[in-house]
A and B are shown apart, each in its own frame.
Chain A
Amino acid sequence: MSNPPIIALGDARVGYRGRIRALDLDRAPAAGLPPPELERRLIELGFVEGAAVELLHQGLFGGDPIAVRVAATTIALRRREAMAVMVSAETVP
């Protein structure tokens, strides 16, 4: 069995379900914050390795921003910041 691919949450489509594998700040160069600050904010909103995610909604223009279910919380963010969240569709670690 091949492993499901690891993608950036910022590239995912509505309905995508997966689990967070890593935070890779280099993947989000367009983010509005310096990498260490972005990393801390993402963690504070629950984006930590192992958490289940599901992309619930997206905006009209460019599919941005997105609403993501992270464990038991729904967070809205822009795709450019979500690029730092690496996810895979694998459901069991």
Chain B
Amino acid sequence: MNAGIDLAPVVALVGNPNCGKTALFNALTGSRQKVANYPGVTVEKKAGRLTTPDGRTVEIVDLPGTYSLRARSPDEEITRDAVLGKLASERAPDLIVCVADASNLRLALRLALELKHVGRPVMMALNMMDIAKKRGIEIDLAVLARELGMPVVSSVAVRRGGTDRLLDALDDRLAVHQPMSAADWRAPDAAALRGAQGEADRVLRAAVRNPGHLDPTTARVDAVLLHPVAGLVILLALLFVMFQAVFAWARPLMELISEGFTWLGVVVAQAPLPEIARSFLKDGLIAGVGSVIVFLPQIVILFLFILLLEDLGYMARAAFLMDRIMGGAGLHGRAFIPLLSSFACAIPGIMATRVIDDRRDRLTTILVAPLMTCSARIPVYTLIISAFIPDRPVWGFVGLQGLVMFGLYAAGITAALAVSFVAKRLFWRTTAGEPFMLELPDYKIPQARSLAMGVMARALAFLKRAGTTILSMMILIWALASFPQPPEGATEPAINYSLAARIGHAIEPVTTPLGFNWQINVALIPGMAAREVAVGALGTIYAVDAGEGAAEKIGKVLAGQWPLATALALLAWYVFAPQCASTLAVIRRETGGWRWMAVTFFYMLALAYAAALATNQIARALGAG
């Protein structure tokens, strides 16, 4: 990259939520874009490059949507600071493009008037002109430009050539040196906002005919989808399909990936390398990378659904329908999708909390997401239930084993609701609850290209994360389970000589009240890599041959070795315990620091300990010791 490109002028896209800004950004930059985080915050940064017709390279930044520069959330603070050139990590924009939905101009005009006051060159891109025309809205661009006092061009982000006028305008504006006055922007008070909206309404009357009618399609669809009863039923059905998709459709792909990595491990195991190098490659590196990549299908499917619903305009409706239900537990209406996805895996679930604008609501959701029973707990639950819980019917028609499984799920959900209820009061006591106020945009047909690019960007962001934080944790766990090496002539399994085994023995006094022996403690350490790994680890420790029917054999051995109280306590432990390094790593990445990861780890550990302790003691008292 040469110096000329690095000094490319910066153009910032600013606009209301749902104005089609991201579609325009995608149309402008194509594949030359990347999604990252602004340093230290959880806000997504989308930037890309384009080349104008005159051959000028321009850096385009898609800033989070906002109604005003008066920032109310971390996202909107980024928009404000970026526009004002106050972000230390970013270059100040050379040109601000205010993107407006031509079919919904009123609030955008007020934002445009506000942007005029920041002392930087501003222009307006009237997006979705095609939709406005179809709806009979007539906009006089010349009058609009004159009344607003800034150049105005029309654009149709979703059509080929729809951005030509905007690109030409960028050349015109960037060719001449624009005077910049010192930013004298100050947060407007209510009177100033009222005045600005009055002025915006005046501009609207002057330049636009027929602006205000409700889109008939949206009205018809909403009559069903926002119906108090039918709307909720449809939402639940939709959620079921989504859950099913993340859970079931992803499975074949996940198995394929998993088998691929297992095969790779076998290949490496036969390589002529020292034993320790082979173990590192197979059990540390390949198993570590594999256990993370395996989540990719779930993440792609989940984000496909989320972005599809978002682009359709349904996400805001779903929040509307769920607001009261989630609100009772102190959760935001938008928290239900992340929490639902967490039943498959907390990692995509935590990533999906990005749909929640308010930081506190988002943190609460991240905090409780790992309590949802993820699919990695299922092998552990199945192993213990089938080994210890008799397969007999209760009340004539329900299987006892199924009932226990259901109880474990219910315990997770109840705990999540209770924790969010407490967290709201404990952490955010001093500030009043964020009010639920959001725009319900008109329904729009999603664009396949824009959708694909959104999913791709998130998949890449996940893989990057997997390659750094998560992988290093996996290697650490491997090292704990592998060093020191067993001595010459060792008879026991290698893991029994490792640091993990020493830790297992050392913490035995703490885990004895839970009914856990040192073997369980040891199994829990590789279980940090992925919950289900604990099953294999128990097999290793109790020296059960792996292979066909291994889980069943392990179950038989355990049933002979553990009292029932221990098995039940281990189940209780698994409902709550922070037994997943990847989840913790994702929390660290998503919250931008160690603090919330530590909070999650310790509150879950405390819950798990208390639950296992109570289960073990009560079960013993009832004679299951």
Contact = CB atoms under 8 A, between A and B. Distances in A.
Contact of A77 (B194, B229, B437): B437
Interface string A21-57: 0000000000111101011110111101110100011
B106 A72 contact: yes
A9 to B, nearest CB: 13
A27 to B, nearest CB: 15
B316 A76 contact: yes
A71 to B, nearest CB: 5
A49 B106 CA distance: 14
Contact of B440 (A31, A41, A67): A67
Contact of A32 (B110, B228, B316, B433): B433
A49 B201 CA distance: 11
Contacts of B325: 61
B197 A48 contact: yes
Given A32-B435, A72-B106, A78-B435, A58 B323 contact: no
A62 interface: yes
Contacts of B232: 60
Interface residues of B, number: 45
Given A74-B440, A75-B438, A57 B214 contact: no
Contacts of A56: 222, 226
Contacts, number: 118
A41 B436 contact: no
Interface string B430-444: 001111111111000
Interface residues of A, number: 37
Nearest to B105: A72
A46 B106 contact: yes
Contacts of B211: 71-72
Interface string B97-112: 0000000111100100
Contacts of B70: 40, 44
A61 B228 CA distance: 8
B222 A57 contact: yes
Contacts of B172: none
B197 A46 contact: yes
Contacts of A59: 228, 320-321, 323-324
Contact of B324 (A62, A74, A81): A62
A33 B198 CA distance: 24
B435 A77 contact: yes
A90 B72 CA distance: 34
A75 B197 contact: no
Interface in B291-330: 316, 319-321, 323-325
A43 B193 CA distance: 7
Given A33-B432, A48-B197, A41 B439 contact: no
B117 to A, nearest CB: 15
Contacts of A60: 228-229, 232, 321, 324
Given A59-B321, A65-B320, A65-B323, A44 B435 contact: no
Interface string B61-90: 000000110101000000000000000000
Given A40-B189, A44-B70, A69 B214 contact: yes
A90 B323 CA distance: 31
A43 B197 contact: yes
A43 B441 CA distance: 18
Most chain A Cβ neighbours within 10 Å, of B190, B227, B432:
B190
A48 to B, nearest CB: 5
Nearest to A77: B437
A50 to B, nearest CB: 8
30 contacts: A32-B432, A34-B432, A39-B190, A40-B68, A40-B188, A40-B189, A41-B435, A41-B437, A43-B197, A44-B107, A44-B110, A44-B193, A45-B439, A46-B106, A57-B227, A57-B228, A58-B228, A60-B229, A60-B232, A60-B321, A67-B226, A69-B214, A72-B105, A72-B211, A73-B104, A75-B440, A76-B316, A76-B320, A78-B437, A81-B437
A64 B327 CA distance: 11
Nearest to A78: B436
B435 A74 contact: no
A74 B103 CA distance: 12
Nearest to B66: A44
A49 B198 CA distance: 9
A45 B107 contact: yes
A31 B417 CA distance: 23
Given A65-B436, A71-B106, 16 more contacts: A39-B190, A40-B68, A40-B70, A46-B107, A48-B197, A48-B201, A52-B212, A57-B226, A59-B324, A64-B324, A67-B222, A75-B437, A76-B319, A78-B436, A78-B437, A81-B437
Contacts of A69: 214
A45 to B, nearest CB: 6
A42 B72 CA distance: 13
Contacts of B194: 43, 48-49
Contacts of A78: 323, 435-437
